[in-house]
Structure 1
């Protein structure tokens, strides 16, 4: 009964602090729309510049048949979702093209040499002539340039093999081990954005605890029969519900942007609930070092940014393996429960994983949560109420 009474108290206080509650619920959905708008506006195609020097005899402005075919192959290349791989622009100003490569308004410059078509014809006829050569110009510090070069080279090899009737010495086949459906950049970001939704619980959970210290109401709690574990249990139930609500709103926002998944909604909620417990445990640990709401809104943002960046919610991080357990592995940033949640969300939503595929991540989050709860609860009641709630 004491737990239920305190649960009702914290629930009402969350409603009174409606600005913090709205921030927690709306932050991740807002990011969904921002990221969707960004990916929608950003051209997925690589900017390819082509300087063609191979023209038809007597027609210096008209590309040779071989050069025209290669340019058409680059233009017609598509991603699995139907979007073009390249945005191709022909140029005859090499200095301007190189400048565009340097300032990254273009990703790759390819020169098609004079005699390109003749070299292909000689190869087809078996005259033993030197092979046709393309020259790539790319900034080695631009990752998009490297990807554009790999794709353009592959298309060029395929085109020249086709027009010369040359047999390819290697046949590469792909067998998908995932869901087999193409994923856009936005699709790949959705699991991280769902994790961001439960990370926001850090503020609402810490607020529920720090406010008791800031307003001096911990004294009344010390005089009541409310025990420390009952207080944390009530806060955990309340904040888990907030985390699940934020998760549902974030997924709904992604759905309105066209995101679709065959993954289990029940598993999605299970991951969200377990992940919320991990964030709440970190909120208890954070609240142990704070005495006022001002400190929460300043110093308290530090653990939030740690969770947001090192959980791979913003960008992927290098994997630093710490422990290998059969087919499973733990990495350095797995010390944050939300990192494991991002991985589990991704497996369920984008690869149709079941409970048997994500049990390791769920167990790891629960173990981390128990450790953070134990440490955070001990520190919180030691610093703010050891003589009362912590000792009952």
Structure 2
């Protein structure tokens, strides 16, 4: 009965602090829509300027390569390139090439492809001559190595050029690529690949509401009154934890719903995803308890609490993978140094559940590791909180 009364009290206080409640529930879903607007929800289309000098020489294969680049598409039909074509060969085009190279530095273009005037001559010779390697003509690709998109743009463009040459000539490579996809086999956009991290972020935001709920009793000076009452520490912490667990799951569901609205699709186990979320929330609650053990006000939670928040966000691999030292491995599962942070294994488990259609059994090692880390954080937080703020008990 005391547990239910205190849980109801915590629920009402959480609802009254509507600004923090709105932040926890809607920050991650809003972030989903922002990133969808930035990435467009599809595969990246690379901006390439193509200078077809072959046309000035009277050749036709340069135009064929340009057409192949325009028709290049991902498995879902999204185009791979946005082509800016220059093929007059005039002096203005020479000046334009310098301008395009400057655009590479400003990231307005991802690559510049130059087809020389000998392109058609070489391809036509190779089509009728057995010794095709005797006559060669280069094609040039310019790019900024500091631009992460350049490498992919150059690889895709070179692959299309090679594919066109093999189609037009008897040249065949001794080895052919047989690509086999794992998981669902569906091509993932940049937006899709960010979703596990965004879902985990929705759980991490509970750090603030949980911390505020734990510290309010100390800030208001009501901890002594609770100490004199019959309310047990486990009932107080259990009541707060239950509300925060429900709040975290609600934020998780809203984030996933926002992603579905933006076209995100997954076919994994719902039970596995919910289990990962629940265990992750236990770790977040533990982190909140550890943090507020060294704080005395809600203001401290909102300011100093940003330190563990950003540490987990950046070093647990929520948005980009980190190279970490492998500590040990059990079977096929490797546990790395950054896995001792809460939510690190959550990202890995969600990746497998969402994109590889893994069930509870297939991700049981990640779940177990996540549960152990969560229990360690929650146990340490519980001990510290009781020692620092509930010593009279």
- Structure 2: distance between partners of 1:125 and 1:322: 59
- Structure 2: distance between partners of 1:102 and 1:187: 28
Note if 1:116 corresponds to 2:126. Answer: no
- Structure 1: distance between partners of 2:22 and 2:107: 40
> C-alpha offsets along residues 282-303 of structure 1, whole Å, 9 cap, x if unaligned?
0000110100111111111111
Unaligned stretches of 5+ in structure 1?
Answer: none
Q: Is the 8 A contact 1:101 1:108 kept in 2?
A: yes
> C-alpha offsets along residues 219-270 of structure 1, whole Å, 9 cap, x if unaligned?
1111123332332222221211111111111111111112222122222222
Note if 1:354 corresponds to 2:354. Answer: no
- Structure 1: distance between partners of 2:138 and 2:104: 21
- Structure 2: distance between partners of 1:247 and 1:3: 25
**Which residue does the alignment assign to 1:307?**
312
How far is 1:124 from its partner?
2.2
**Which residue does the alignment assign to 1:194?**
199
Q: Is the 8 A contact 1:6 1:231 kept in 2?
A: yes
- Structure 2: distance between partners of 1:190 and 1:366: 22
- Structure 1: distance between partners of 2:262 and 2:45: 20
Q: Is the 8 A contact 1:46 1:144 kept in 2?
A: yes
**Which residue does the alignment assign to 2:277?**
272
**Which residue does the alignment assign to 1:14?**
14
> C-alpha offsets along residues 287-320 of structure 1, whole Å, 9 cap, x if unaligned?
1010011111111111111222223333333343
Structure-2 change in CA distance of 1:351 and 1:41 (3 Å): closer
- Structure 2: distance between partners of 1:42 and 1:244: 28
Which range moved further: 191-200 or 319-328? 319-328
> C-alpha offsets along residues 71-129 of structure 1, whole Å, 9 cap, x if unaligned?
11111100112111111112322211211112211111121112111111222222553
Which range moved further: 67-76 or 185-194? 185-194
Aligned length: 383
**Which residue does the alignment assign to 1:99?**
102
Secondary structure (helix, strand or coil) at the match of 1:193 reads: helix
**Which residue does the alignment assign to 1:50?**
50
TM-score normalised by the chain length of structure 1: 0.93
Q: Is the 8 A contact 1:53 1:114 kept in 2?
A: yes
Q: Is the 8 A contact 1:268 1:348 kept in 2?
A: yes
Q: Is the 8 A contact 1:222 1:387 kept in 2?
A: yes
Q: Is the 8 A contact 1:321 1:331 kept in 2?
A: yes
Q: Is the 8 A contact 2:42 2:190 kept in 1?
A: no
Q: Is the 8 A contact 1:120 1:132 kept in 2?
A: no
**Which residue does the alignment assign to 2:32?**
32
**Which residue does the alignment assign to 1:377?**
382
- Structure 2: distance between partners of 1:2 and 1:69: 78
Secondary structure (helix, strand or coil) at the match of 2:82 reads: strand
Unaligned stretches of 5+ in structure 2?
Answer: 87-92
- Structure 2: distance between partners of 1:23 and 1:50: 47
How far is 1:372 from its partner?
1.2
Q: Is the 8 A contact 1:56 1:65 kept in 2?
A: no
Residue number among 180, 185, 188 corresponding to 1:183 in the alignment:
188
Note if 1:217 corresponds to 2:212. Answer: no
Note if 1:89 corresponds to 2:84. Answer: yes
Secondary structure (helix, strand or coil) at the match of 2:216 reads: helix
Secondary structure (helix, strand or coil) at the match of 2:253 reads: helix
- Structure 1: distance between partners of 2:259 and 2:143: 36
Q: Is the 8 A contact 2:200 2:346 kept in 1?
A: yes
Which range moved further: 73-82 or 178-187? 178-187
